[in-house]
Chain A
């Protein structure tokens, strides 16, 4: 259940609690973050992060965490509320099964972004790796959003069950910006790509291209306004090219795989 979140006063840099992560084992670092959050910190800055895993996992408070360096795998997993700003590249499984909150990555992300994500937003400025948004899902008002500014690897939206995936291809050269097997196993949610349609040979069997409606355009404008503001990108430039929309053709693509279902 999504709890209403109290509004937080605008963040002031001097209010940030600074934690030096250099040479700190991930368990120790996470304990320090949790202690700071339970003591009421609203903003935390982690410096010299390198490879520490599970940062901010499962935290269910409204807190801003700035991460400087390269966070380890599963940053923001199971997170429910915080806003993470990664000033660098992120490794694998950003926002694994996250429930709400926001993760903004100013660099590139590796594989499996937003794995099984259930809510909240992930904004990647650069490129992302393989299997972005694998098995994302949604329930009622909880609709996860992943926006990738650059390119993605193969298996974008694999087994996707819900939520919104947007790929902008801002760093792309030609139509090779979404990799192969787009939406394979997709049975819910929506994928938008900008610039060019997904070439037929790169599209999985399950999704199909559908026309955008006014509602889609309004949704894209709203989400991309927020995205471009967070990442200081040119909103008009992003909107200057057309978008293409893909949705699953069936909600049960494998229903008849092993036996005929009524």
Chain B
């Protein structure tokens, strides 16, 4: 039955991205504060964070973060990892008691709000290296090997999902408000040079732990506000290259698409972004001969990589951070910079909370990426 008394302030997801281009590390406290200001953009059905540079001790190992529902899933995951990887170290990711909430500094927030219960699965991390002969003849890189492992676990081991698998980075996510989850995961204890944070407001898919953002593969992590209406086309295209879409939500394809275009096919970031947010034909017609040819070729080869529908995404990797809007700006995105810091957010207040006086604040143009990179020589 329809409840006509149901009131909800509909919103969109909330995004925050912070990067120090000189590789300076900061604790998770900043991203937590920023995403807490965007509280209204989420609805408590998902929150998550990506952090780069947090595992210097294990920097040469792929850090697998896993969500596992049952003891059986954990046994199966560990058996698989032991068989295919050298597992240097495995441990439960430290957390607080889930009933302990983020100390709200926005007074009055919880007056009438019923907070969602945080009921976590088992959350573990394993630092792994591929177990394969030194001179392997399978034609795979270590990265390809890890991707196969991630796809295998997500598709074949019941109740187990890899939520991140990059080197010296990790993702912390789940169901709840992001600030509560960040508190739960003790983010203030991690030091990273790039952080992203996401407040989820699921629209077309359910709120579950694996469905929270960021979506990752290797060191790619994507947070997203909007909906990818081309999901079906993108998914079928990716499946031809061995990607398995198992996480029941649209954002997953963005991550795999970037992995395919940039890592596998070697496209420069700017060109890959042209494929996923291609200019309209009427604008292509007005381009110079050379640029027109490039854009036409991209559309012919990568037509199935086009992301349709409204979106603002922030995607990160170990060397940088990129913000991108759909081609007609149907979702908000604000960028700012100060010194070596670059900030991106769904709302300017998310930036001002942690950087009250940025040197420059701007609204990026639709379909035009904002690209921040670690400076050359920064390790």
Contacts and interface: CB of A to CB of B under 8 A. Distances in A.
Interface of A: 23-28, 50-51, 53, 69-70, 72-73, 89, 91-92, 108, 110-111, 127, 129-130, 153-155, 201
A72 B332 CA distance: 13
**Range of interface residues on chain B?**
20 to 34
Interface of B: 37-38, 40, 105-109, 111, 282, 286, 328-329, 332, 334, 347-350, 352-353, 361, 363, 365-366
Given A28-B108, A70-B349, A153-B363, 20 more contacts: A25-B106, A25-B108, A25-B109, A26-B40, A27-B111, A28-B107, A50-B352, A73-B347, A89-B348, A91-B347, A91-B348, A92-B332, A108-B361, A110-B334, A110-B348, A110-B363, A111-B363, A127-B363, A129-B363, A201-B282
B353 A51 contact: yes
B16 to A, nearest CB: 12
B107 A25 contact: yes
Contact of B332 (A23, A50, A111): A111
B343 to A, nearest CB: 13
A111 B348 CA distance: 12
A69 B352 contact: yes
Nearest to B38: A51
A28 B111 CA distance: 10
B354 to A, nearest CB: 11
B106 A153 contact: no
A134 B126 CA distance: 52
Which 3 pairs from chain A and chain B are nearest by CB?
A51-B349, A28-B108, A25-B108
Nearest to B109: A25
B202 to A, nearest CB: 20
Nearest to A50: B349
B332 A110 contact: yes
Contacts of A27: 108, 111
A72 B345 CA distance: 13
B361 A24 contact: no
Contacts of B282: 201
Instruction: Identify which of A24, A51, A127, A201 gathers the most chain B CB atoms within 10 Å of its CB.
Output: A51
A155 B108 contact: no
9 contacts: A24-B106, A27-B108, A50-B349, A72-B349, A89-B361, A110-B348, A111-B363, A153-B363, A154-B366
Contacts of B348: 51, 70, 89, 91, 110
B236 to A, nearest CB: 31
B138 to A, nearest CB: 49
Contacts of A72: 40, 347, 349
A77 B253 CA distance: 37
A51 to B, nearest CB: 3
A92 B38 CA distance: 14
Nearest to A31: B108
A25 B112 CA distance: 12
Given A50-B37, A153-B365, A24 B107 contact: yes
B38 A153 contact: no
Contacts of B109: 25
A111 B40 CA distance: 18
Contacts of B361: 89, 108
Given A110-B363, A129-B363, A154-B329, A91 B349 contact: yes
Contacts of B365: 153
Nearest to A155: B328
B324 to A, nearest CB: 15
A23 B109 CA distance: 10
A50 B357 CA distance: 12
A154 B328 contact: yes
B350 A51 contact: yes
Instruction: Identify which of B109, B111, B347 gathers the most chain A CB atoms within 10 Å of its CB.
Output: B347
A219 B107 CA distance: 47
B107 A130 contact: no
Instruction: Identify which of B286, B332, B348 gathers the most chain A CB atoms within 10 Å of its CB.
Output: B348
B373 to A, nearest CB: 26
Contacts of A73: 347
Instruction: Identify which of A25, A53, A72, A127 gathers the most chain B CB atoms within 10 Å of its CB.
Output: A25
B347 A23 contact: no
A25 B361 CA distance: 24
A155 B366 CA distance: 11
Contacts of B329: 111, 129-130, 153-154
A129 B363 CA distance: 7
B259 to A, nearest CB: 30
B108 A51 contact: no
Contacts of A24: 106-108
A41 to B, nearest CB: 21
Contacts of B40: 26, 53, 72
B184 to A, nearest CB: 22
Nearest to A201: B286
B13 to A, nearest CB: 14
A77 B41 CA distance: 18
A143 to B, nearest CB: 28
A201 B109 CA distance: 48
B366 A153 contact: yes
A92 B331 CA distance: 11
